[in-house]
RNA sequence: GCCGUGGUGGCGGAAUUGGUAGACGCGCUGGACUUAAAAUCCAGUAAAUGUAUAAUUUGUGAGGGUUCGAUUCCCUCCCACGGUACCA
């Protein structure tokens, strides 16, 4: 296609000028209102930027430029999430040191990000793998440790045998490792955890007040997984042992006809001598151990289990003896690892009972009956002695009380497993001493540097840091005797749980961030990024902020009150972009051919930011065409003295609409409004300054390079960035005359031009005198005359 | 199964509190320019009937309802996408 301007030259020119003039440096000014606009920082992968990255980045850039025009002090930083599994796996694949590959990838990403002309304050750039940064990640670990929120314990944890490390629950997707898709297995290991569960209730309740997408809030609610119920103890016959269960349905206790304990339940061992078929039980436990989590949950239709022979439990509500089974459909990690089973009112228990031919007793009646299966709704109590006739909801508390149980709340969310048996992460700042035990590294000794004298950092199941003697053999900070360092490293998600604080004070050597800076800029006013971080990063970050608050570092509850998820950019075939499908679009190629301005405009014009939408190369041609026309119009343009009332009215409407749309991230309609205005503008010549300047200022948010170039061509000496957002005048934005659609009996019949302020009586007379309308009204009587000012007129006969 | 989001031309999408459905862009069709093509410019473009006009009818996943009027609100259902799932 014929291009009217050289985007390569122009875009480079203005990027250099912006950089030289430091125009995007955050203005810290007490007189200005602040806005902190944050992008989710990328991890610098080897593949480079994909077209999804600039989608969110362009949107925030437009918003920030708009805010600067409106005299806000804007904090808009960028950095690199450089530690963690993805970066390390890439280095291993390439056979290089992660330090080197990370450095190279960051250089490439920087070049790519800069080619879009984003208005970041680059002085605040951070890199989570630099010692200046991870010193404070380690400081956070110590803060959590001192607050009793970091602890080490042996527990069944997720293990990926391909990445050779443990994983947090949040990093297991469909029973598989998020990074390599290997099926995750459970292993009993001693690991470090952060006590996220301590904040479960607050994390849940806090969601109500956040301006976040509903879908995302729902995901977090679901992840936190609150259920209210009761803990009830069942006595084992002829033994001191008791089985405690958690149930959300204590009202169904009369229908409990058997119990099931998880294979990992400690009771199995305790009752070893009394279980007559212990060999059989052991065999079953061995079998479940070999199953992956995926197998254990996927085969949920076909339940397995073994009866504990010689053991019975007593239902505390009616003293009936009921059998006890062991089965892997009960999870050891939720509730008490044991359940009471009510097959009449629980689908899973029903399936198990059918298979093992167990008694099914109905204890609740509901108008909606389920012919074949369990009735899980609430209703009226039956077969429940003194509770018969009571509503089941009411019976919950009463029955719990009768059997001496306690009402309680359970959550699905687990503590966050943060230790990793991997090289590329911040070392955990802990020392083990034979005399003093677990000793935190004194703050003054931070950072604990990641050793570089390691020849082989490939994962083996043990942390590669173990092989560096200079690293792990140390003196105990308390007693001075020989001790060793913890050689596991931290999950990369620890680093990015607090990065938005570091941007505010990236060079501070004494604090993770000064109180003043937190006060000045937190919380983040607008956070934009992908939905994939719904339950990992976004829960951890909220958790960190609450911990900081409880340690008096700040006084707000939530780091991100407003959050927007941008949608995915799909391939032109409507499928997710992937190498194997061959539908990947490389942003470098697009910028080279059409320019960054066209790219930015196109991605914003595709549709609403939050929707996922397919890429279409013809679409970007349209945006380039728009810019070419603008360039041509301005090439020989000189300010004149002409004015034009109609155009002026359109201008003020456009200013209002574009401003509104930007604030609400409706960038597709903002661009459409600019196109409409330009179409009318380009029909005129010799226009005075305001018609032209306002347009270029608005355009510069979206297409900043070409706008600067044209601004200069018009003879302006300073950067367009230094201008202010044009003010719109509501009076001018309003029309004096409107085209009013006229309906007869709800059907559109005519359009007449009327004064906006016309009275209803005048309008009625005018409308009824119209030939077209007369035809439809005919001789019939007008029973109703509806007029909505400026909108519509409807005549009912 | 449960939770969430959505369903509008050939395509991406637009439609403040219910008020001309299809803005804007892409594509397509016709024309101008050109030896020709590309690019550019002009016109048209929801569907059906009709005479490329006029006019009429239908139309926002399906079916009902409220209303003078429904893409928008209510009910029932279908479909797609995303999340989650033996959580007792």
CA of A788 to C1' of B18 (A): 12
Residue nearest to nucleotide B14 (CA to C1'): A669
CA of A2 to C1' of B38 (A): 9
pLDDT surpassing 70 at residue A150: yes
pLDDT surpassing 90 at residue A617: no
User: What is the ipTM metric for this complex?
Assistant: 0.94
pLDDT surpassing 70 at residue A369: no
Q: Please report the pLDDT score of residue A200 as a whole number.
A: 94
pLDDT surpassing 90 at residue A490: yes
Residue nearest to nucleotide B6 (CA to C1'): A611
Listing DSSP states for A560-625 in one string gives -SBEEEPPPEEPTTSSBP-GGGT----HHHHHHHH-HHHHHHHHHHSS-TTS-EE--HHHHHHHHH
Q: Please give the nucleotide, over all strands, whose C1' is closest to the CA of residue A348.
A: B86
Backbone angles phi, psi at A263, to 5 degrees: -60, -30
- Mean pLDDT highest for which of A20-29, A281-290, A766-775? A20-29
Q: Please give the nucleotide, over all strands, whose C1' is closest to the CA of residue A329.
A: B86
Q: Which residues of A627-663 are buried (b: 16+ CB within 10 A; e: fewer)?
A: bbebbebbeebeeeeeebeebbbbbbbbbbbbbebbe
Q: Please give the nucleotide, over all strands, whose C1' is closest to the CA of residue A613.
A: B12
Q: What is this structure's pTM?
A: 0.92
CA of A294 to C1' of B86 (A): 12
pLDDT surpassing 90 at residue A761: no
Which runs of E-coded beta strand occur in A174-320? 176-177, 185-194, 226-236, 242-247, 258-261, 306-314
- Inter-residue contact A135 to A516 (CB < 8 Å): no
A578 — pLDDT class (breaks 50, 70, 90):
confident
Name the helix (H) or strand (E) containing A794: strand A792-796
CA of A64 to C1' of B80 (A): 35
Q: Please report the pLDDT score of residue A366 as a whole number.
A: 77
CA of A786 to C1' of B59 (A): 25
Using a pLDDT cut of 90, give the percent of chain A over it. Answer: 63
- Residue A489's nearest CA partner among A39, A112, A87 is A87
Could you give the angle at which helices A85-94 and A98-114 cross, rounded to 10 degrees? 110
Backbone angles phi, psi at A482, to 5 degrees: -60, 135
- Inter-residue contact A538 to A560 (CB < 8 Å): yes
Q: Note the pLDDT tens digit of each residue in A305-319.
A: 999 998 899 999 999
CA of A140 to C1' of B42 (A): 67
CA of A767 to C1' of B62 (A): 38
Please state, rounded to an integer, the average pLDDT across all residues of chain A.
90
Q: Please report the pLDDT score of residue A299 as a whole number.
A: 54
CA of A328 to C1' of B8 (A): 49
Q: Please give the nucleotide, over all strands, whose C1' is closest to the CA of residue A334.
A: B87
CA of A569 to C1' of B82 (A): 14
Query: Residue A593: which residues within 8 A CB-CB, separation 6 or more?
Result: none
- Inter-residue contact A569 to A534 (CB < 8 Å): no
Q: Please give the nucleotide, over all strands, whose C1' is closest to the CA of residue A225.
A: B87
Backbone angles phi, psi at A185, to 5 degrees: -115, 160
Residue nearest to nucleotide B27 (CA to C1'): A618
CA of A674 to C1' of B38 (A): 28
Q: Note the pLDDT tens digit of each residue in A332-365.
A: 888 999 999 999 999 889 989 999 999 999 999 8
Q: Span A111-140, mean pLDDT?
A: 97
A320 — pLDDT class (breaks 50, 70, 90):
very high
Residue nearest to nucleotide B5 (CA to C1'): A215
Q: Please report the pLDDT score of residue A700 as a whole number.
A: 97
A2 — pLDDT class (breaks 50, 70, 90):
low
Q: Span A507-525, mean pLDDT?
A: 96
Omega cis (within 30) before A18: no
Using a pLDDT cut of 70, give the percent of chain A over it. Answer: 98
CA of A744 to C1' of B67 (A): 16
Q: Please give the nucleotide, over all strands, whose C1' is closest to the CA of residue A252.
A: B88
Q: Please give the nucleotide, over all strands, whose C1' is closest to the CA of residue A215.
A: B4
Q: Span A117-142, mean pLDDT?
A: 97
CA of A294 to C1' of B85 (A): 12
- Residue A694's nearest CA partner among A713, A715, A720 is A720
Q: Please report the pLDDT score of residue A709 as a whole number.
A: 96
> CA–CA separation, A797 vs A795, rounded Å?
7
The better pLDDT of the pair A109, A575 is held by: A109
- Inter-residue contact A669 to A692 (CB < 8 Å): no
Q: Please report the pLDDT score of residue A62 as a whole number.
A: 97
CA of A339 to C1' of B57 (A): 65
> CA–CA separation, A134 vs A131, rounded Å?
5
pLDDT surpassing 70 at residue A475: yes
The better pLDDT of the pair A376, A220 is held by: A220
CA of A619 to C1' of B51 (A): 38
> CA–CA separation, A150 vs A156, rounded Å?
17
Q: Please give the nucleotide, over all strands, whose C1' is closest to the CA of residue A795.
A: B68
Q: Please give the nucleotide, over all strands, whose C1' is closest to the CA of residue A216.
A: B4
Q: Please give the nucleotide, over all strands, whose C1' is closest to the CA of residue A246.
A: B88
CA of A377 to C1' of B3 (A): 18
Residue nearest to nucleotide B82 (CA to C1'): A215
Q: Please report the pLDDT score of residue A36 as a whole number.
A: 97
Long-range contacts of A536-540, Cβ-Cβ distance < 8 Å, separation of 24 or more: A536/A168, A536/A170, A536/A171, A536/A493, A537/A40, A537/A493, A537/A496, A537/A497, A538/A216, A538/A220, A538/A563, A539/A170, A539/A196, A539/A203, A539/A220, A539/A223, A539/A224, A539/A413, A540/A196, A540/A416, A540/A493, A540/A494, A540/A497
Q: Please report the pLDDT score of residue A164 as a whole number.
A: 85
A1 — pLDDT class (breaks 50, 70, 90):
low
Residues comprising chain A, all counted: 797
Q: Please give the nucleotide, over all strands, whose C1' is closest to the CA of residue A3.
A: B39
The better pLDDT of the pair A73, A746 is held by: A73
Q: Span A432-445, mean pLDDT?
A: 94
DSSP letter (8 states) at residue A77: -
Q: Span A676-681, mean pLDDT?
A: 94
Listing DSSP states for A710-773 in one string gives HHHHTT--S-GGGS-PPPP-HHHHS-SEEEEEEEETTEEEEEEEEETT--HHHHHHHHHT-HHH
CA of A589 to C1' of B39 (A): 21
Q: Please give the nucleotide, over all strands, whose C1' is closest to the CA of residue A796.
A: B68
Residue nearest to nucleotide B26 (CA to C1'): A619
Up-side HSE of residue A352: CA atoms within 13 Å toward CB? 29
> CA–CA separation, A658 vs A325, rounded Å?
66
Q: State which nucleotides on strand B lie below 7 Å from a protein beta carbon.
A: 3-5, 11-16, 19-21, 23-27, 38-41, 56-57, 68-70, 81-88
CA of A585 to C1' of B58 (A): 41
Q: Please give the nucleotide, over all strands, whose C1' is closest to the CA of residue A412.
A: B87
CA of A679 to C1' of B42 (A): 15
CA of A614 to C1' of B60 (A): 21
Q: Span A608-620, mean pLDDT?
A: 90
pLDDT surpassing 80 at residue A370: no
Q: Please report the pLDDT score of residue A635 as a whole number.
A: 85
Q: Span A558-573, mean pLDDT?
A: 91
Query: Residue A645: which residues within 8 A CB-CB, separation 6 or more?
Result: none
Q: Please give the nucleotide, over all strands, whose C1' is closest to the CA of residue A229.
A: B88
Q: Please give the nucleotide, over all strands, whose C1' is closest to the CA of residue A328.
A: B86
A571 — pLDDT class (breaks 50, 70, 90):
confident
Query: Residue A537: which residues within 8 A CB-CB, separation 6 or more?
Result: A40, A493, A496, A497
Q: Please report the pLDDT score of residue A621 as a whole number.
A: 92
């Amino acid at each position: 296609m014929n291009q009217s301007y050289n985007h390569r030259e122009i875009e480079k020119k203005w990027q250099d000028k912006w950089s030289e003039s430091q125009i995007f440096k955050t203005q810290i000014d007490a007189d200005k209102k602040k806005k902190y606009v944050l992008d989710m920082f990328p991890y610098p992968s080897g593949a480079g930027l994909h077209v999804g990255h600039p989608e969110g980045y362009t949107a925030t850039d437009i918003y920030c430029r708009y805010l600067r025009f409106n005299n806000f002090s804007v904090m808009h930083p960028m950095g690199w999430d450089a530690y963690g599994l993805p970066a390390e796996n890439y280095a291993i694949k390439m056979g290089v040191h992660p330090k080197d590959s990370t450095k190279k990838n960051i250089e490439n990403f920087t070049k790519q990000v800069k080619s879009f002309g984003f208005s970041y304050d680059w002085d605040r750039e951070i890199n989570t793998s630099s010692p200046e940064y991870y010193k404070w990640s380690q400081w956070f670990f110590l803060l959590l440790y001192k607050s009793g929120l970091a602890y080490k314990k042996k527990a069944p944890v997720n293990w990926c045998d391909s990445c050779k490390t443990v994983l947090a629950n949040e990093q297991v997707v469909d029973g598989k490792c998020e990074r390599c898709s290997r099926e995750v297995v459970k292993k009993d290991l001693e690991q470090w955890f952060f006590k996220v569960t301590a904040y479960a209730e607050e994390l849940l309740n806090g969601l109500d007040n956040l301006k976040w997408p509903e879908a995302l809030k729902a995901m977090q609610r679901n992840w936190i997984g609150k259920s209210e119920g009761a803990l009830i103890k069942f006595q084992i016959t002829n033994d001191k042992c008791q089985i405690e269960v958690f149930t959300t349905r204590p009202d169904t206790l009369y229908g409990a006809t058997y119990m099931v304990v998880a294979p990992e339940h400690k009771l199995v061992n305790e009752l070893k001598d009394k279980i007559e078929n212990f060999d059989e039980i052991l065999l079953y436990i061995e079998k479940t151990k070999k199953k992956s989590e995926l197998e254990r949950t996927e085969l949920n239709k076909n339940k397995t289990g073994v009866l504990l022979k010689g053991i019975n439990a007593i239902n505390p509500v009616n003293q009936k003896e009921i059998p006890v089974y062991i089965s892997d459909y009960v999870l050891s990690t939720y509730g008490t690892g044991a359940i009471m089973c009510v097959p009449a009112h629980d689908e899973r228990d029903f399936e198990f009972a059918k298979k093992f031919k167990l008694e099914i007793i109905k204890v609740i009646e509901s108008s909606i009956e389920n012919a074949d299966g369990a009735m899980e709704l609430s209703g009226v109590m039956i077969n429940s002695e003194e509770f018969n006739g009571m509503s089941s909801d009411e019976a919950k508390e009463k029955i719990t009380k009768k059997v001496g149980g306690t009402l309680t709340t359970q959550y699905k969310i687990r503590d966050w497993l943060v230790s990793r048996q991997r090289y590329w992460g911040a070392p955990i700042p802990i020392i083990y001493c034979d005399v003093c035990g677990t000793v935190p590294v004194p703050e003054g000794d931070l950072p604990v540097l990641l050793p570089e004298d390691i020849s082989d950092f490939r994962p083996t199941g043990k942390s590669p840091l173990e092989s560096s003697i200079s690293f792990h053999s140390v003196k105990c900070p308390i007693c001075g005797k020989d001790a060793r360092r913890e050689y596991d490293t931290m999950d990369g998600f620890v680093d990015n749980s607090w990065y938005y604080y570091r941007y505010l004070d990236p060079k501070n050597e004494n604090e993770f961030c000064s109180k003043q800076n937190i006060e000045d800029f937190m919380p983040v006013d607008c956070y934009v990024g992908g939905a994939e971080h719904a339950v990992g990063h976004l829960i951890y970050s909220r958790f960190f902020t609450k911990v900081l608050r409880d340690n008096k570092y700040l006084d707000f509850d939530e780091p991100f009150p407003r959050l927007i998820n941008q949608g995915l950019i799909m391939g032109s075939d409507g499928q997710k972009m992937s190498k194997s499908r061959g539908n990947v679009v490389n942003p470098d190629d697009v910028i080279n051919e059409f320019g960054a301005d066209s790219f930015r405009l196109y991605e914003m014009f595709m549709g609403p930011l939050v929707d996922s939408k397919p890429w279409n190369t013809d679409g970007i041609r349209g945006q380039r065409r728009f810019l070419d026309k603008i360039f041509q119009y301005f090439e020989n343009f000189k300010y004149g003295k002409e004015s034009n009332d109609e155009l002026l009215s359109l201008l003020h409407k456009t200013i209002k609409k574009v401003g509104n749309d930007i604030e609400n991230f409706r960038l597709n309609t903002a661009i459409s409004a600019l196109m409409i205005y330009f179409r009318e503008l380009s029909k005129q010549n010799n226009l005075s300054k305001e018609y032209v300047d306002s347009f270029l200022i608005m355009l510069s948010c979206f297409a900043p390079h070409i706008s600067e170039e044209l601004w200069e061509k018009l003879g302006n000496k300073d950067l367009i960035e230094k201008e202010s957002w044009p003010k719109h005048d509501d009076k001018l934005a309003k029309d004096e005359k409107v085209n009013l659609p006229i309906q007869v009996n709800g059907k559109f019949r005519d359009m007449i031009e009327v004064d906006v302020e016309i009275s209803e009586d005048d309008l009625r007379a005018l409308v009824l005198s119209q030939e077209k309308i007369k035809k439809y009204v005919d001789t019939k009587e007008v029973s109703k005359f509806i007029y909505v000012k400026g909108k519509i007129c409807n005549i009912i006969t």
